[in-house]
Amino acid sequence: MKVAIYCRLSREDDDKLHENDESESIQNQKSMLINYAIERSWDIYNIYCDEDYSGIDSERPEFNKLLEDAKSHKFDVVLCKTQSRFTRDMEIVERYLHNKFIEWNIRFVSLVDHVDTLDKGNKKSRQINGLVNEWYLEDLSENIRKTFDSKRKQGLHIGSFVCYGYKRSPENKNKLVVDTEVAEVIKLIFNLYEQGNGVTKIAKILNDKAILTPTKYKQSQGINFKNQGKNIDYWCESTVSKILKNEVYIGNLVQGYNKKVSYKSKKIANQPKSEWIIVENTHEPIITKEQFCKVQEIFKSKTRRCKNGEVHLFANKLVCLDCGTKLYKCKNDRGYIYFSCKSSKKLYGTCTPHSIAYKNLKNLVTEKIRDKILAFYDFDNISDRLFVSNDNLNKAKLLENKKETLSKDMESINKAIKELYLNKVNGKVPEDVFEDLNASFLSDKSTKQKELSKVQNDLSNLKEKELNSKFIKEQKEKIINHFKDFKELNYDIVNGFIDYIEIGEKNKKANSQDVVIHWNF
């Protein structure tokens, strides 16, 4: 009889080993299994070994080679120290031990836990072993996740690589310090965007300056960093956009924005913002909070750029006074630039043009902003419209409590499902009763999950509103002081002062036109 010996050692096993303890070592497993095979006069076909692989990993190279050889019936017996050395996945236990191995006429034997598929009487114990092994990994995965989350909440950086613009502190690998070699690049990106340049134009500017992309820069520093993107040699829109939206540059550590969908899977899923772990003021900022918030407001406006990648002065700011439709920029054959309502008769027949010359509007807005600055040195009457009210704070507390309750309910349901399945395997619960109870538990779990998702979304909206409101009080004074001596109107000034402008239809008889400016403060 030919036997295939399989040994496995995972990282968690390696952590358990003491200097003189080889109870789980590969060498010890080999020696034990070889002696067992010799005692029974079995011919050893091959010894398959996987080191540093979890028992839940179905992509183990030697494990898959063993399965291929088993399918070709190159041996008669698979011999392991324990069933968990072969796999901790209940699905694989059922697929191979109770189906494929029987189909291929392969016997499975493990020494320590006395598993032998030749003995049909211990099938239930094999199933229970499979469940226990899988639950062990599930609990281990959850414990590791909680440990990492605890460190993240303490403001410690947990990850293989740090964000572009920072590096690890020499004194503490979980702390970030500014990478002075590229910090100026980050500042340049934010300044260019605030000045009205789109992400496409910013990427072109960076490429023209021959500035290394984040991936190429890391690699130039000897860091073994790989990017799944198609082109790592050139800056692109997505790279610039990610930098502009990352709170790490204002000193906040943002982690937990994605995670594995399951301890069984390597797939990574993005998490709702309410699940992110954000700790403020953990490291030195590169960008001011005021500038960061301003950039986020520009992003939200979804401002369209011109062909050259720049934004015209009143981009996304002009609205028809009568129908509320946005005005768009036009240019005739003589080079005359003006704005016109999108719902005008020429296009849709639902409104009049409400046209206004670009030059006239620029002169008018310049004059109004100068007037605003001259009359604007009383900073006490600051608008509180973006401040989070006490009602919102109370609502946030209620949502946090509800989230905690729903999470506990989900844990209880998962525990009940496990116990129910175990009772079914032990024969304590009939199949029909199991099906009814299991369906009820799953339905309840689905309902709780929907409620939890809604609560998380509501929390995310409240937290985002709170973040935006933190700096509004200081923003007013800084905008005025920054632009009080401006010479030429630009997009940065318009965006800082003006929320939107309503343009009325021309009164040709009176030679007048209503222009209503709605200020940011």
- Which pLDDT score, from 0 to 100, does residue 15 have? 45
User: In the block, which residue shows the tokens 């027949």?
Assistant: 349
The mean-pLDDT minimum among 132-146, 184-198, 267-281, 372-386 falls in: 372-386
Structure tokens at 325: 């439709």
In sequence order, the 6+-apart residues with CB closer than 8 A to the CB of 333 are none
Of 365, 378, 380, the residue nearest 519 (C-alpha) = 365
- Which pLDDT score, from 0 to 100, does residue 118 have? 84
> Could you tell me which CATH class the domain 154-299 is placed in?
alpha beta
User: In the block, which residue shows the tokens 């046209």?
Assistant: 355
Topology of the domain comprising 2-122: Rossmann fold (3.40.50)
Q: How confident is residue 382, by pLDDT bands cut at 50, 70 and 90?
A: very low
pLDDT tens-digit series, residues 434-446: 888 888 888 888 8
Q: Averaging pLDDT over each range in 39-53, 245-259, 270-284, 454-468, which range is the top one?
A: 39-53
Helices (H), 245-344: 289-300
Give the other-Cβ count within 10 Å of 132's Cβ.
15
Domain range list for the chain? 2-122, 154-299, 312-384+490-519, 390-472
Question: Can you tell me the mean pLDDT for 80-94?
Answer: 86
User: In the block, which residue shows the tokens 């010799």?
Assistant: 38
pTM reported for the whole predicted model: 0.46
Helices (H), 196-236: 199-208, 214-220
- CB burial of 52-82 (b: ≥16 within 10 Å; e: otherwise) equals ebbbbbeebebbeebbebbeeeebbbbbbbb
- Which pLDDT score, from 0 to 100, does residue 491 have? 78
CA distance 341 to 480: 31
- Which pLDDT score, from 0 to 100, does residue 306 have? 52
Question: Can you tell me the mean pLDDT for 473-495?
Answer: 73
pLDDT tens-digit series, residues 207-216: 999 999 988 8
Structure tokens at 51: 């080191």
Helices (H), 22-60: 26-39
Report whether pLDDT(347) > 70.
Answer: no
- CB burial of 175-192 (b: ≥16 within 10 Å; e: otherwise) equals bbebbeebbebbbebbeb
Half-sphere exposure in the Cβ direction for 155 (13 Å, CA): 12
- 148 φ, ψ (degrees, to nearest 5): -65, -40
- Which pLDDT score, from 0 to 100, does residue 383 have? 42
Structure tokens at 150: 């605890």
- 311 φ, ψ (degrees, to nearest 5): -105, 135
What number of residues does the chain have?
A: 521
In sequence order, the 6+-apart residues with CB closer than 8 A to the CB of 388 are 462, 465, 466, 469
Asked whether 37 and 79 are in contact (CB, 8 A), the reply is yes
CA distance 353 to 350: 10
**Cross-strand partners of 140:** none
Structure tokens at 443: 């339905």
Q: Report helix, strand or coil for 78.
A: strand
